[in-house]
Amino acid sequence: MSEKIETIGVLTSGGDAPGMNAAIRAVVRQALAKGLKVKGIKRGYAGLLNEEIIDMDAKSVSDIIQKGGTILYTARCDEFRFEEYQKKGAEICKKHGIDGLVVIGGDGSFKGAQKLSHLGINTIGVPGTIDLDIACTDYTIGFDTAVNTAMEAIDKIRDTSTSHERCSVIEVMGRSAGYIALWCGIANGAEDILLPERYDGNEEILLNHIKQTKEIGKKHHIVINAEGIGHSASLAKKIETETGMEARATILGHMQRGGSPTCTDRVHATVMGALAVDLLCQGKSDRVIAYKDGKYVDFEIDEALAMKKDIDEYQFTVSKLMSRA
């Protein structure tokens, strides 16, 4: 590990998330303020291996804080799971004088960052994913924007569901985590929320609930279904057949990953990006930044990856109570 950082690299990896640009901007401006050089690595680890490396200055991050996506592009790079390519990545960093690296992404991206740290490139992870599924942190860049985007879309679907007196099964993102589903379920007043963390596949309970709400005269029945459970179309068909209530499925999909970041996402992304540079300047490496119990903190990547988190049980209880009309 080098003692004094001179050049910081920054990349975004895995699924994009609104606010990644704000984080890139913060890394660049904080580094420049400290007299360091900054290099942007395009397309995550794939771009690193292809040496897609550009010089960045204060102007190269002008007018991006409000933009969704990532100006550095992002990619998934399976090769990077192998030592041979990790070593090549570290060599390329050294060749370009990159002695400190900020990786903005999720758990998978942090594993790559950890490998680079062990190969002598001081590396800090910044949590960026709409799924909120990074255990060490209460907040991940992009979650707030994504839930607001989904919430607005679900409100619209609710209007048409009510007009037609239908059941709507709405699938939100979350490969293995139900945070988006739970938050939208509460915010949209959904009648049912299916979470990978809690749903046991018992459709009877859901079907009976739909029959009950129909009987008491509810004009719609909104089911928020997390992507991790999936099968929204077949579930809607079954609901229609078994309950007699017309049903439609909508998969919100990638629209949840786009759009201008909310204030919350911009602020946290900016502070985390700046902090990543500060940690590198303090000689730290192999760490990931988190927002925990109202404070910005950092953890060793190994420790962060070993942590587990679950959805908030009280939030889940309240969500169920609120849907009982």
Using CB under 6 A as the binding criterion, the count of chain residues that bind ligand ADP stands at: 17
Q: Does 131 bind ligand F6P (CB under 6 A)?
A: yes
Identify each DSSP E strand in 143-195 by its residue range.
167-172, 192-194
Least Å distance, CB 145 to ligand F6P, is 12
Q: 189 or 258, CB closer to ligand ADP? A: 258
Stretch that binds ligand ADP, among 22-30, 107-115, 230-238, 265-273 (CB under 6 A): 107-115
Question: In Å, what is the CA distance from 202 to each residue of 99, 165, 193, 207, 239?
Answer: 53, 24, 13, 9, 13
Task: Give me the 180-219 binding string for ligand ADP, x by CB under 6 A, dash otherwise.
Answer: ----------------------------------------
Taking CB under 6 A as the rule, which mask of x and - marks residues 74-113 in contact with ligand F6P? ----------------------------------------
Contact 28, 60 (CB under 8 A): yes
Stretch that binds ligand ADP, among 72-80, 155-163, 252-260, 304-312 (CB under 6 A): 72-80
Q: Which residue has the tokens 């680890």?
A: 45
38 in Cβ contact with 31 (< 8 Å): yes
**b/e per residue, 165-190, with b = 16+ CB within 10 A?**
ebbbbbbbbbeebbbbbbbbbbbbeb
Contact flag: residue 265 with ligand F6P (CB under 6 A): no
Residues within window 118-157 making contact with ligand ADP, judged by CB under 6 A: 129
The verdict on 15 binding ligand ADP (CB under 6 A) reads yes
Residue pointed to by tokens 């709400």: 213
Q: State how far Cα 50 lies from the chain centre.
A: 25
Out of 227, 265, 286, 298, name the contact with ligand F6P by CB under 6 A. 227
Among 101, 173, 210, 224, binds ligand F6P (CB under 6 A): 173
**Which of positions 17-56 make contact with ligand ADP (CB under 6 A)?**
45
Please state, in angstroms and as integers, the Cα–Cα distance from residue 157 to each residue in 20, 141, 147, 154, 178, following that order: 29, 26, 15, 5, 20
For residue 112, state whether it binds ligand ADP (rule: CB under 6 A): yes
The distance between the two most distant Cα atoms of the chain, rounded to a whole number of Å, is: 70
**Partner whose footprint covers residue 107, from ligand F6P, ligand ADP, none (CB < 5 to 8 Å by kind):** ligand ADP
CA-to-CA dists, residue 145 to 13, 19, 57, 91, 197, angstroms = 18, 8, 27, 36, 22
From ligand ADP, ligand F6P, none, interface partner of 39 (C-beta below 5 to 8 A by class): none
Residue positions annotated with a catalytic role:
131
How many H-runs (helices) and E-runs (strands) does the chain carry?
11, 11
**Is position 15 an interface residue for ligand F6P (rule: CB under 6 A)?**
yes
- What's the CA gap between 119 and 181, in Å, rounded? 39
The position carrying tokens 């939100």 is 172
Exactly one of 37, 76, 88, 96 binds ligand ADP (CB under 6 A); which one? Answer: 76
* Interface ranges with ligand ADP (CB under 6 A): 13-15, 45, 76-77, 80-81, 105-109, 111-112, 115, 129
